[in-house]
Structures are given as C-alpha cells and as structure tokens.
A = this chain, B = another copy of it.
Amino acid sequence: MSTTDDPGLAPLPLSVRMQRGDLFSDQCPSREVLKHVTSRWGVLILVALLGGTHRFSDLRRKIAGVSEKMLAQTLQWLEADGFVDRKAYPVVPPHVEYSLTPLGREVGEKVEMLADWIEFNLPRILAADAAS
C-alpha cells in the first residue's frame, strides 16, 4: 500500500484541493500538515536536512533522543507530504539517503527561522519563566 496510514484522508474533490487552507477551521487538511511539520521530531528533521542529505543513522545520531521508530515514522509523514525525498540503494548493509524536495526546502526554511529564533532568544524566555 502506498497510501497514507491515516484513514481520514479520503479522496477530496479537485475543487477543494485547489483552495488555500484555513488553519482556523476544524476539518481543514492543513492541520494535518501542520501537525507533521511541527511534530516533536519533524522540526528537527527538517532543520537537519536543510544542512544536506543524511542517511537514516546520521539523522538518528544528530537528533539526540529520537528513537528509530519515531524517526522512521516522521520521515514517512514528511515523505508523504512531499517534503522529503527518500533514495534507497539495494545494497547489502542497507543504505538510504534522505534529502529535502524543493517543497521541503521551502517549509524547512520557515521552520528553521522559528527554531533559530527560539535558540537565540532562549535566555530572554528563560528569564520570563523565572519571573512567573
């Protein structure tokens, strides 16, 4: 099966698939996409891949704390959304390379800006935490 594991993504009419999404409405599929992109590991994967192609185990080592299961799953979400490109070489010790598609590079950049902002402004945020 090559379809998504999510049974909620029934075939939508073309007219709907042409429209801009609306995150404020309940049923909008953009919420699913947002979920994948902003998921715990999705953010880190996108940022990591902005730095270039990585193998599965490279990502696993770079992103401290991910389990193999979650890394695989999140990569599959991002692949299904068209953000990540997976290239598998049928060699004996498995060899798979992950990279961003053009679409993935675009979201990745937005995500990275957010991630960078948080990293850079952590001190200001922690100061707020302490004051609360």
List residues of A whose CB falls within 8 A of some B CB.
Answer: 2-4, 9, 11-12, 17-26, 29-30, 33-35, 37-40, 43-44, 47-48, 62-65, 79-83, 103, 106-107, 110-111, 113-115, 117-132
CB–CB A21/B129 < 8 A = no
Q: State the CA gap A39–B132 with chains docked (Å).
A: 20
Known: A43-B23, A43-B38, A118-B21. Contact between A81 and B123, CB under 8 A?
A: no
Q: State the CA gap A62–B83 with chains docked (Å).
A: 29
Known: A26-B64, A64-B26, A132-B80. Contact between A34 and B126, CB under 8 A?
A: no
Copies, count? 2
A-B contact pairs, 14 of them (CB 8 A): A2-B132, A20-B119, A20-B120, A20-B123, A23-B118, A23-B119, A24-B48, A24-B62, A29-B122, A30-B122, A103-B121, A103-B124, A106-B117, A110-B114
A132 to chain B: which residues have CB within 8 Å? 2-4, 79-80, 82
A38 to chain B: which residues have CB within 8 Å? 38-39, 43, 114
CB–CB A117/B107 < 8 A = yes
CB–CB B40/A35 < 8 A = yes
